[in-house]
Structure 1
Amino acid sequence: MIKDIVCSAICLKRTYPDTHGIVLDTLRGSKIMILQEVKQPVLHSAVSKAATLLGASDVSIVDNVVWEHDYMGRVFSTMADAIFVTTTTHHCIKRFSEHSAVPVMCMHSRTHASIQALATIMTIMEEYGCMNNLNVGYLGPPHPVLNSFLLLHPMLGANFKYKCCCDKVPVTPLLFKASEDLSTELHTEMKACTSREEVFKNVNVIIAGPTTKKKEKLKYFKITADEIDKNSQRWYFIHICPRGQEVDDKLFNHSNARTYTMFDNMHYVAAAMMANAIIGKLFCY
Structure 2
Amino acid sequence: MRHLLNITDLTVDEIKLVLELSQRDPASLGRPLAESDGTPKGAALIFEKPSNRTRHSMEIAVVQLGGHPIYTRGEEVGFDSREPVEDIARIMSGYHGLIAARVFKHDVVKRLAEASSIPVVNMLSDESHPLQGLADALTMVQEFGSLDGKTVAYVGDYNNVARSLGEVCVMLGAHYRLACPAGYEASGAELSRIAALGNGSINQSNDPQLAVVGAHAVHTDTWVSMGQEAEKAERLQIFGAYAVTTELMSKADSQAIFMHCLPAYRGYEVAADVIDGSASRVIQQGHNRLHASRGVLAFMLGVSQ
Whether TM-score is above 0.5 comes out as yes
The aligned counterpart of 1:235 is 256
The answer to whether structure 1 residue 40 and structure 2 residue 51 are counterparts is yes
Partner of 2:273: 250
Question: Are 2:161 and 1:148 equivalent residues in the alignment?
Answer: no
1:194 aligned to which of 189, 206, 229? 206
Counterpart for residue 107 of structure 1: 123
- Any residues of structure 2 matched to 1:1-285 within 5 Å, and which? 1-12=14-25, 25=31, 27-28=33-34, 29-63=40-74, 64-66=78-80, 68-165=84-181, 169-173=182-186, 177-184=189-196, 186-212=198-224, 213=232, 214-244=235-265, 245-246=267-268, 247-278=270-301, 280-282=302-304, 285=305
| Aligned AA (1:123) | T
* 129-138 or 86-95, which deviates more: 86-95
Q: 1:225–1:69: structure 2 CA closer, same or farther, 3 Å change rule?
A: closer
Distance 2:211 2:33 in 1: 42
User: Which residue matches 1:20?
Assistant: none
Cα deviation, 1:36-61, whole Å, max 9, x if unaligned, reads 22222321111011112223211011
Decide whether aligned partners of structure 1 residues 158 and 267 sit closer, same or farther in structure 2, where only a CA change above 3 A counts. same
Secondary structure of the 1:60 match is strand
Q: Which range moves more in the overlay, 253-262 or 181-190? A: 181-190
Task: Quote the offset at 1:123 in angstroms.
Answer: 0.3
Equivalent-residue separation in structure 2 for 1:6 and 1:267 (angstroms):
12
Alpha-carbon RMSD across the aligned residues, in angstroms, is: 2.3
User: Alpha-carbon deviation of 1:27?
Assistant: 3.3
SS at match of 1:81: strand
Greater CA drift, 114-123 or 220-229: 220-229
Q: Provide the rounded CA distance (Å) in 2 between the counterparts of 1:42 and 1:189.
A: 30
Q: Which residue of 1 aligns with 2:7?
A: none
Partner SS for 2:250: helix
TM-score (norm 2): 0.81
Distance in 1 (alpha carbons) for counterparts of 2:245 and 2:65: 39
Unmatched runs of 5 consecutive residues or more in structure 1? 17-22
Task: State the aligned residue count.
Answer: 271
User: What letter is aligned with 1:173?
Assistant: A
Structure 2 residue runs without a partner (length 5+): 1-13, 35-39, 225-231
Offset at residue 154 of structure 1 (A): 1.2
CA 1:40/1:218 → structure 2, altered by over 3 Å: closer, same or farther?
A: same
The amino acid of 2:299's aligned partner reads: N
Identity, in percent, stands at 17
Q: CA shift at 1:136, angstroms?
A: 0.2
Q: How far off its partner does 1:184 sit?
A: 4.5
Preserved contact between residue 12 and residue 268 of structure 1 (Cα < 8 Å)? no
